[in-house]
């Protein structure tokens, strides 16, 4: 094999290996600020670990599962196209909070924001691959929920068993 062929082979191999080792591209979403304070009693559960607020991945699932184990943070999404300050170029971003009330107040006074969502951790949940077909699941899952879904959906030791005996299709 000529020197030129060897060089081309090495370059092609290096290109192939580098393509295989690239990680997923970074998210276009970003957290721009984290409020880790808990100032008073709250209407909803506060973050399980306020020191971690703002450190969770921005790209998570959305909804589902019927039960939650822990509240991780509250998020207020900001959209520059709707009037939010462009702190992440033209891409959406969010501000993370340890407590619902601070997130709600921020969303009400800040242009271009949505109502708060809550980031929850699920260790056991209900999967519904098809409407009315429920499958109990175990593992760690992090997902954003609507705030109203928190009420009455904190998982207990009996939640999954009771749900499977009497399924309901409303909620998360």
Which sequence spans correspond to the domains of the chain?
A: 31-165
pLDDT in tens, 141-160: 999 999 999 999 999 999 99
d(CA 146, CA 149): 6
Binned at pLDDT 50, 70 and 90, residue 64 comes out as confident
pLDDT in tens, 29-46: 888 899 999 999 999 999
The predicted model gives 72-101 an average pLDDT of: 95
* Both structure tokens of 44: 């909803």
pLDDT over 70 at 2, yes or no: no
pTM (predicted TM-score): 0.81
Burial of 95 (C-beta count, 10 Å sphere; 0-12/13-18/19+): buried
Which residues, 6+ apart, have CB-to-CB distance to 23 below 8 Å? none
């Amino acid at each position: 094999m000529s020197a030129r062929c060897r060089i081309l082979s090495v370059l092609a191999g290096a290109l192939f290996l580098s393509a295989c080792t690239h990680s997923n591209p970074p998210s276009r979403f970003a957290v721009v600020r984290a409020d880790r304070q808990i100032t008073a009693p709250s209407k909803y559960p506060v973050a399980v670990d306020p020191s971690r607020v703002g450190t969770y991945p921005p790209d998570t699932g959305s909804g589902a599962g019927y039960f939650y184990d822990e509240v991780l943070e509250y998020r207020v999404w900001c959209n520059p196209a709707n009037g939010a300050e462009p702190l992440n170029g033209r891409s959406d971003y969010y501000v993370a909070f340890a407590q619902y009330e601070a997130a709600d107040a921020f969303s009400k006074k800040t242009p271009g924001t949505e109502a708060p969502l809550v980031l929850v951790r699920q260790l056991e949940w209900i999967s519904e691959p098809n409407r009315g077909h429920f499958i109990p699941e175990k593992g760690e899952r992090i997902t954003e929920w609507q705030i109203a879904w928190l009420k009455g959906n904190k998982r207990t030791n009996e939640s999954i068993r009771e749900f499977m005996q009497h399924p309901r299709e409303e909620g998360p």
